[in-house]
Chain A
Amino acid sequence: MENQNLNLLDRALGLDGPSEPWPLSGRVVLIEDCVETSGSFVLHQLVKRSLSPTSSNVIIFVAFANPFSHYDRILRKLGCNLVTQRDNKRFIFFDMLMLRCPDVDEGKSSEGGLVLLYEKILKTICGLPGDKKDYVTIMIDDISLVEVAANGGSDYVLDFLHYCHALTSEFDCSLITLNHEDIYSSMERPTLILQMEYLADILIKAEPLSTGLATDVHGQVWLSDYLSSQRT
């Protein structure tokens, strides 16, 4: 049952076919989840598919939520060795757990920290060999913690996401982000999550079943593809 569900997700994203050209090239994917139903499994599945032996993808993984060992353990169970991929320069891990912008002169420090992160991503892409530069996937786990690192400066987070979005246009890379929808559900106008939904080409929502909790089915996944009249 689980394999069938994963295959449905792969089919919906176009990942069940040939790996090249990468179906998600130049596209922005937003994964939304909540406390009751985590969407991390979608991110892990996309890591596994991106690093399949038949593809040339390189992942730049910006981790605010968990250390490398966490993802390594999970992906091993899915049949993917992240240590080997890291050594092969196909999985580039940015450990951002300790990024905390100082309180002094909050605004400039928060923005400055994200500017440096953007610069690091850009230089990493530009430093890749020519044949790999066109197959980059940027993954960010997760945006709510980027906001925490920026001392709640959601405007700076949006600026950072805008620049990452510009990278998809400049280098034809993919951008995959995760955010928690229920954090913003109590706000009258949840600007950050709405702005992210506007930026996204594909929205994947993980939510609990309408019938409630079940032992063997943890929730449902809903995928919206805002194609394609806007793409060549």
Chain B
Amino acid sequence: MADTICRTLRDGGLEGEHAPALTIKDSKASPFGFDVFNYVLTQLSNHILAGKSQSRGLVVVAYSRSPSFYVDLLKRRGIDIASSHDWIHILDCYTDPLGWKNRLIDKDISQEASSLSSFCQDVRNLDKLYSLIIEQGKGLIGQGKDRFSIAIDLVSEMVRHASISSVAGILSNLRSHDQVSSIFWLLHSDLHEIKFTSVLEYLSSMVASVEPFNQAAFGQRVDLENLSMLEQNFRKGKFHVRFKRRNGRVRVMCEEILVELAGIKFTPVLSEDEIINQRLLPKVQFNLQLSEEERNERAKVVLPFEHQGNGKPIQIYDGRRSLGENKEEALVSTGKLQPDEDSGKGQIIYFRDSDDEMPDSDEDPDDDLDI
């Protein structure tokens, strides 16, 4: 399922469509969001380097870690960007986000930017930040019609320096830019009002939530009774992902995550637990599903204009008169439906070309509609 997310980001968006956007959210109860972010970053980087992705470059907007952290991270994953980095650029919003170092009189203390990264020293100015991101992205892909991807390591830090509406605005603008292939960001949900989290989820085509493995243990005092459950929460978690399809349908999936020294691992939910793989149906007052009996009854319904070949005349009830009163007339009228080449009158010949398809099959036939 995590690989599904990475494939979606890899494939990017269609012409004229907004770029796929992923929100990764976690909380102190299960603080593995950054591990997930690093996993997605590594996977996307591998796809870009292999030439398998729509995007040809990656701009990392680093709020919570230094550029050197990402260099080391990718190096540990087998990607040496120090020697070859024409496909990646790190916008450093971590080292001097408010220009404090820049104000220092002693310029020897100030750091020089490298070719791999550049400083953003005023994170409060989101218009300028937007321009920097687009400029760096275009610098990676050149003048052609190629696209680039964007990774923002902490939107929670971004919103500390700007309003919710301006943060939502820049994310929406980035997502709708025609040269942005995909975008993903991390959010600590317990730092914000529900309103802000909801805004980001609304902007996203995928929402990945990291939740505690043992929900009951969170928030309790540490004692010998719940120690093992709390320890589990520090290594394991649950990973819920909500996908929004192009046609508006929503799909929810769940995995388990295990955080180790080497990185994060995603595993299917254990067999003794219920596998959560459901489609999200709107909550309405009528039933959208069919029971077994209803399916059988539906199969017995005679479709209009279909011949069952049993020799009996077909009776079609038009809803205005009872069948018993006008039986003879109906029989006469339906008799004329029999094919009669000599009469020269119109007729309807219906051939059923296939059996019914279940409306919620995995391959949605409406996916290729250009709506």
Task: Report B-chain residues with C-beta under 8 Å of the C-beta of A232.
Answer: 72, 76
Can you name 8 extra interface pairs (CB under 8 A) apart from A119-B100, A163-B100, A232-B72? A115-B103, A119-B104, A122-B101, A166-B96, A169-B65, A198-B31, A228-B261, A230-B35
Query: Are B106 and A207 within 8 A (Cβ)?
Result: no
The distance from the CB of A76 to the nearest CB of chain B, in whole angstroms, is 33
The distance from the CB of B188 to the nearest CB of chain A, in whole angstroms, is 6
Query: Are B34 and A230 within 8 A (Cβ)?
Result: yes
* A25 to B31 CA separation, bound complex (whole angstroms): 22
Decide: A126 near B109, CB < 8 A? Known: A115-B100, A170-B66, A230-B34: yes
Query: Are B223 and A210 within 8 A (Cβ)?
Result: yes
A residues at B contact (CB < 8 Å): 115, 118-119, 122-123, 126, 155, 158-159, 162-163, 166, 169-170, 189, 191, 194-195, 197-198, 205, 207, 210, 220, 222, 224, 226-230, 232
The distance from the CB of B198 to the nearest CB of chain A, in whole angstroms, is 15
Task: Report B-chain residues with C-beta under 8 Å of the C-beta of A115.
Answer: 100, 103
Query: Are A189 and B34 within 8 A (Cβ)?
Result: no
Query: Are B103 and A166 within 8 A (Cβ)?
Result: no
Query: Are A118 and B35 within 8 A (Cβ)?
Result: no
Task: Report B-chain residues with C-beta under 8 Å of the C-beta of A194.
Answer: 28, 188, 190-191
Picked from A123, A158, A166, A198, the residue with its CB within 8 Å of the CB of B109 is A123
Task: Report B-chain residues with C-beta under 8 Å of the C-beta of A195.
Answer: 191
Task: Report A-chain residues with C-beta under 8 Å of the C-beta of B106.
Answer: 123
- Interface flag for B269 (CB, 8 Å): no
**What are 8 contact pairs spanning A and B, CB under 8 A?**
A122-B109, A123-B109, A166-B96, A169-B69, A189-B193, A197-B28, A229-B38, A232-B76
- Interface flag for B253 (CB, 8 Å): no
The distance from the CB of A6 to the nearest CB of chain B, in whole angstroms, is 19
Query: Are B109 and A170 within 8 A (Cβ)?
Result: no
Picked from A122, A123, A170, A229, the residue with its CB within 8 Å of the CB of B35 is A229
Q: Which 6 A-B pairs have the closest CB atoms?
A: A169-B66, A222-B222, A232-B72, A115-B100, A166-B95, A210-B223
Decide: A155 near B160, CB < 8 A? Known: A122-B109, A163-B100, A224-B234: yes
Query: Are B72 and A158 within 8 A (Cβ)?
Result: no
- Interface flag for B262 (CB, 8 Å): yes
- Interface flag for B264 (CB, 8 Å): yes
A-contact bits for B119-159, CB 8 A (1 contact / 0 none): 00000000000000000000000000000000000000100
The distance from the CB of A210 to the nearest CB of chain B, in whole angstroms, is 6
A-contact bits for B226-255, CB 8 A (1 contact / 0 none): 000000001000000000000000000000
B residues at A contact (CB < 8 Å): 28, 31, 34-35, 38, 65-66, 68-69, 72, 76, 94-98, 100-101, 103-104, 106, 108-109, 111, 157, 160, 188, 190-193, 221-223, 234, 259-264
The distance from the CB of A197 to the nearest CB of chain B, in whole angstroms, is 6
* A155 to B124 CA separation, bound complex (whole angstroms): 13
* A119 to B101 CA separation, bound complex (whole angstroms): 8
Task: Report A-chain residues with C-beta under 8 Å of the C-beta of B66.
Answer: 166, 169-170
* A224 to B69 CA separation, bound complex (whole angstroms): 22
- CB nearest to A222 among chain B residues: B222
Task: Report B-chain residues with C-beta under 8 Å of the C-beta of A228.
Answer: 261
- CB nearest to A168 among chain B residues: B66
* A123 to B104 CA separation, bound complex (whole angstroms): 10
Picked from A159, A207, A210, A227, the residue with its CB within 8 Å of the CB of B98 is A159
* A228 to B234 CA separation, bound complex (whole angstroms): 12
Task: Report B-chain residues with C-beta under 8 Å of the C-beta of A198.
Answer: 28, 31, 188, 191
Query: Are A118 and B100 within 8 A (Cβ)?
Result: yes
Decide: A166 near B35, CB < 8 A? Known: A197-B28, A198-B188, A210-B221: no
The distance from the CB of A92 to the nearest CB of chain B, in whole angstroms, is 17
* A122 to B104 CA separation, bound complex (whole angstroms): 10
- CB nearest to A126 among chain B residues: B109
Task: Report A-chain residues with C-beta under 8 Å of the C-beta of B109.
Answer: 122-123, 126
Task: Report A-chain residues with C-beta under 8 Å of the C-beta of B104.
Answer: 119, 122
Decide: A170 near B95, CB < 8 A? Known: A115-B103, A122-B109, A229-B260: yes
* A216 to B34 CA separation, bound complex (whole angstroms): 42
Task: Report B-chain residues with C-beta under 8 Å of the C-beta of A191.
Answer: 191
The distance from the CB of A56 to the nearest CB of chain B, in whole angstroms, is 23
Task: Report A-chain residues with C-beta under 8 Å of the C-beta of B76.
Answer: 232
Query: Are B259 and A229 within 8 A (Cβ)?
Result: yes
- Chain A CB within 10 Å, residue with most, of B35, B38, B109: B109
Query: Are B190 and A189 within 8 A (Cβ)?
Result: yes
* A226 to B221 CA separation, bound complex (whole angstroms): 18
The distance from the CB of A122 to the nearest CB of chain B, in whole angstroms, is 6
- CB nearest to A220 among chain B residues: B222
- CB nearest to B94 among chain A residues: A166
* A195 to B191 CA separation, bound complex (whole angstroms): 7
- CB nearest to B224 among chain A residues: A210
* A158 to B188 CA separation, bound complex (whole angstroms): 15
The distance from the CB of A32 to the nearest CB of chain B, in whole angstroms, is 12
The distance from the CB of A182 to the nearest CB of chain B, in whole angstroms, is 14
The distance from the CB of B31 to the nearest CB of chain A, in whole angstroms, is 7
The distance from the CB of A161 to the nearest CB of chain B, in whole angstroms, is 12
Task: Report A-chain residues with C-beta under 8 Å of the C-beta of B72.
Answer: 232
The distance from the CB of B75 to the nearest CB of chain A, in whole angstroms, is 9
* A155 to B157 CA separation, bound complex (whole angstroms): 11
* A162 to B34 CA separation, bound complex (whole angstroms): 17
